[in-house]
Amino acid sequence: MMRSSTDDRETWGAISADLSSPAVYANLQKTQPSGFIRHNDPMTETDVTQFVERANRSWLRIAAELDLPSGRYAVEILKAQMQLGMPRIVLRLKARDLPDLIFKQEFRPDSPEGFIENTKGHQRAFDLMAGQDAFQVPQLLAVDQATQCVLMKCAPGKKLHDHLLLGSSTEKRATLLRRSGEWIGLFHSRSEREPATLNPTTMINYIQSMRTRVKGRHLDVPGRSRFLRYSEQAIDLAETRRGQPARAAAMHGDLNLHNLIISPKTIYGLDFRDARTEPIGHDLARFFVRLGRYFFPDGQDAKGSDWFQKDMNDFFAGYGPEWQHDAGVQVMLPMQILTDWGEIPKKSDDRTIRQQRCWEGLQHLSGLIFGKRG
């Protein structure tokens, strides 16, 4: 097990509970938050109980190794989901007079390469953002590769997704996006490498493979004819941008609205999926599509381009306006729309409420992005 480079053990004092005592498990809150199991995840209530109890045992073992007072912590289930075929449990550990902690564990099938890569990505981001009070990454306290679990400090605040879901004025939305842009912009600027030129071959091949599957009806998507027409446009655009300057920097790898935690004074980045350096378009396209496909205006307002362009302008006001027309961003945005499109079930009866909302949003986005190019 790897410990954080900063040794916090003196803060915690001695263990105050026997690990084999049933009282330790009494701290585990059995009440499951409504909807915390995603509807498209094949995990039964029995599965959830089993994996949560295993995660709790792992937390108790690590707590003992770090001399943490595990008996003083109540354990709250934040997430129990199947992610790419791998059960993933996230627990929040809360004590009255101690900082909150987050414990994450991934179970079978083991993915040591992916786990190591993600951990490296998180640590690199923590190092890059060191010394920034307003823009941070939670510190890792322990990493256990053998059981694929991590213990880290908890980031206080709400997810960007939740801020937007709870409703916000036009001014507040603009502020949230600008502050998000500031965090991402700093993360990228602190890892920016020498200017590179765009090589979209891998992205083109991926979209071409989707086109082949859709043509052969091996991948059934809603709006099949439009998907094929738009995907051809995306490939043509990528070819026209080949060789143009494209900013490259450290990659977050899963930059969605759930992985930015915003408090009044600080923004935290979470759940890094990569330690590579890639064109910034990979991160930014995912962010914008995840924003636009869910938080679009209702009614006729969604058909105009003003709302999406304003969101992008507000974001880049924090990130850096000069990067809004970066070749990587321009190429990856339509490709991310198509990638997300491919995940929507063709039949409306087969979609969850969330998938239906995302499908409606993707139709608006594709009309805005491809329509003006068609």
**Domains assigned to the chain:** 2-154 (3.30.200.20), 159-369 (3.90.1200.10)
CA distances from 103 to 60, 112, 189, 250, 258 (A): 11, 18, 29, 25, 17
Radius of gyration for the alpha carbons in the chain, expressed in angstroms and rounded: 22
Number of Cβ atoms within 10 Å of the Cβ of 353: 8
In 76-100, which positions are buried (b, 16+ CB within 10 angstroms) versus exposed (e)? bbebbbbeeebbbbbbbbbbeeeee
Alpha-carbon dihedral 63, 67, 73, 75, rounded to 10 degrees: 0
What's the CA gap between 198 and 246, in Å, rounded?
A: 5
Confidence of residue 173 (pLDDT cuts 50, 70, 90): very high
Confidence of residue 185 (pLDDT cuts 50, 70, 90): very high
Q: What is the pLDDT of residue 220?
A: 96
DSSP string, 172-225: HHHHHHHHHHHHHHHHHHTT--S-EE---HHHHHHHHHHHHHHHTTSS--SSHH
Tell me, what amino acid is at 63? A
Residue 13 has pLDDT above 90, yes or no: no
pTM: 0.86
Query: Which residue, chain included where needed, has tokens 């939740």?
Result: 162
- Give the chain's largest Cα–Cα span: 67
Q: What is the pLDDT of residue 362?
A: 97
Lowest pLDDT segment from 1-5, 107-111, 369-373: 1-5
Report pLDDT digits (tens) over 80-92: 887 667 789 999 9
Residue 110 has pLDDT above 80, yes or no: no
Mean pLDDT of 127-144: 96
Planar angle of CA 298, 304, 309, nearest 5 degrees: 100
Pairing of strands 196-197, 2-3: unpaired
Length of the chain: 374
Q: At CB < 8 A and 24+ separation, what contacts does 225-230 make?
A: 226/366, 227/338, 227/341, 227/342, 229/370, 229/374, 230/334, 230/337, 230/338, 230/366, 230/370
Pairing of strands 245-246, 140-144: unpaired
Residue 19 has pLDDT above 70, yes or no: no
Confidence of residue 346 (pLDDT cuts 50, 70, 90): very high
In 177-203, which positions are buried (b, 16+ CB within 10 angstroms) versus exposed (e)? bbbbbbbbbbbbebbeeeebebebeeb
In the chain, % of residues over pLDDT 70: 84
Mean pLDDT of 318-337: 97
Residue 21 has pLDDT above 80, yes or no: no
Report pLDDT digits (tens) over 206-230: 999 999 999 999 999 999 999 999 9
Confidence of residue 273 (pLDDT cuts 50, 70, 90): confident
Q: What is the pLDDT of residue 1?
A: 64
